[in-house]
Amino acid sequence: MKRIRSFQRIILTLMMLAAACLIPRQGWAAEEFSWYPFKLSSSSGSFQFGLTGRVILEGFAPGPEGAGLITRQSSFLSGRTSLFADVFLGKHLYATGEFRADTGEAPQKGVLAGRVEQAFLRYKPWLNHNIHIQYGKFVSPFGAYNQRHDSAADPFIRPPLMYDYRTMVSSNYIPNSNDAFINWKYAPDIWRPVGAPVIWGNPYQIGAMFFGGFRKFDFRLAAMNSAISSEPGVWNYQLWQENHPSYVAHAGYRVLPELYLGMAYSTGPYLGERAKSFIPKDEFNSYQQNTWEMEFLYEKGKTQIRGEVFQDTWHVERVIDNPTDVSGYVEIKQKFLSGFYGAIRYGAIRFNEIRLSSGKREAWDFDIWRGQAALGYRILRNLEVRTEYMWNSTNSPEDPKDNLGSLQCRFEF
């Protein structure tokens, strides 16, 4: 009953905030409400500068054991605000940056802190060709969800399962033996919090990327400073930290106007700084995370169906076989009345069996599935509210109570 009352308070607070967002700003004329509310431009047009922003207010009601990367075990309010700056220098150079203030990459209750979330420079060598070179801090080019997260193309509040669930592979701890690693799953309170996800949310890493397209074909080639499963603490360059780059390749093809298919590959060492006390320096890069991805998108009328499939292989010290997980999700988004939509998503992760010292084979983690259902309404062009409920279930003897209810109000300016 206490949790219900807390969730009701969250709903009421967000409704009040949404109503406040509807109050028009004094002095704003309709024709001034453009994509860039603040912009500067040289008389020749060779220099252009624009500012936009986004405010997101959220309420979460997690189960008593948290939910994915959300570790808090009681209802709380969170949010984030972003300021985007875009600079166009002539016809070949473009730079952008995002300053974000929030309580962390994964929502939690706490004091707002600011950081540079992304900042990169993009160069287009030829105006008549869709070819670009990019360097700086930007979201990982691996995975379809990374390219659409936090936008109208993602109707949900929380990510798909494989972007939001820690496996039993750890980037900072090495198992004492093969059997010990397999048994880690029976002590989830110890090993789950330090496990590595297939992909850690939406990694904003330092890297260089060559990308573009030709007719129905598109591609991305990139070198990033850490693995796709790396923790936020290593996404930036650190003076005292040696970087271990990860490489990403993506290719996509629009088969039909309604159907797009793509595939990608990522490889790189996944161990963190703490593991260096267990692993010789010359062997550190041998412990790789190799991940294949396939994706599809089908859009017709008011219906959108998309999904991804991953095969993820880890090289773990003292483990006889390579732990592998296969995961994927499918989601359907349906538009109803003007501005109103609904969506459902199903995701799952399956873990392979590896050998114990006795020769018997056993899965190295418990299989898990996630269902998500969301409703959203775009009140104005720049104002939207969403609600979502998430179900998580595993085949563990003690299935964690980790469902999650969420509400969100998004305002862009």
Residue ranges of domains in the chain: 2-23+38-412
Tokens of 315: 């090289």
Mean pLDDT along residues 356-365: 94
Phi, psi dihedral angles at 301 (to 5 degrees): 60, -125
pLDDT confidence of residue 152 = 86
Overall pTM surpassing 0.85 (yes/no): yes
CB 58 within 8 A of CB 406: yes
Tokens of 63: 């189960």
Tokens of 280: 């010789």
The pLDDT of residue 21 is above 80: no
What is the band of 109 on the pLDDT scale with cuts at 50, 70, 90? confident
What CATH number was assigned to the domain covering residues 2-23+38-412? 2.40.160.10
Tokens 């979201």 locate to 139
Q: Which residues pair with 383 in a beta bridge?
A: 380, 411
Q: How far is CA 111 from CA 61, 62, 98, 101, 159, in A?
A: 19, 19, 19, 10, 23
Count CA atoms closer than 13 A to 66's CA, side-chain side.
Answer: 16
Q: Which residues pair with 246 in a beta bridge?
A: 224
Tokens of 38: 């603040």
CB 90 within 8 A of CB 72: no
In whole numbers, what is the pLDDT of the chain averaged over residues?
Answer: 89
pLDDT confidence of residue 273 = 79
Separation CA 289–CA 286 (nearest Å): 10
The DSSP code for 234 is G
pLDDT confidence of residue 76 = 94
Mean pLDDT along residues 361-368: 97
Terminal C-alpha separation, the chain: 38
| Most confident among 38-52, 245-259, 279-293 (mean pLDDT) | 245-259
Higher pLDDT, 96 or 21: 96
CB within 8 A of 48, min separation 6: which ones? 39, 40, 41, 42, 86, 87, 88
| Most confident among 15-29, 33-47, 105-119 (mean pLDDT) | 105-119
Question: Angle at the Cα of 183 (from 230 to 273), degrees rounded to 5?
Answer: 25
pLDDT confidence of residue 1 = 45
The pLDDT of residue 81 is above 80: yes
Phi, psi dihedral angles at 22 (to 5 degrees): -75, -15
The pLDDT of residue 155 is above 80: yes
What is the band of 277 on the pLDDT scale with cuts at 50, 70, 90? confident
Mean pLDDT along residues 58-67: 93
Separation CA 131–CA 219 (nearest Å): 10
By three-state DSSP, how is residue 337 classified?
A: coil
What is the band of 11 on the pLDDT scale with cuts at 50, 70, 90? very low
Tokens of 114: 């600011």
pLDDT confidence of residue 10 = 47
| DSSP line for 127-173 | TTSEEEEEEEEEE-SSSHHHHHTTSTT---SS--GGGS-EEEEESS-
Which of these ranges, 166-180, 230-244, 308-322, has the smallest mean pLDDT? 230-244
pLDDT in tens, 279-314: 877 788 889 999 999 999 999 999 999 999 999 999
The pLDDT of residue 139 is above 80: yes
CB 51 within 8 A of CB 96: no
Which of these ranges, 278-282, 371-375, 408-412, has the smallest mean pLDDT? 278-282
Higher pLDDT, 229 or 111: 229
pLDDT in tens, 167-222: 999 999 999 999 999 999 999 999 999 999 999 999 999 999 999 999 999 999 99
Separation CA 182–CA 362 (nearest Å): 7
Which residues of 336-382 form beta strands (DSSP E)?
340-351, 353-355, 361-363, 368-380
pLDDT in tens, 201-213: 999 999 999 999 9
What is the band of 239 on the pLDDT scale with cuts at 50, 70, 90? low
Give Dmax (Cα) for the chain: 77
pLDDT confidence of residue 182 = 96
Handedness of CA 295, 80, 138, 86 (dihedral sign): positive
pLDDT confidence of residue 238 = 65
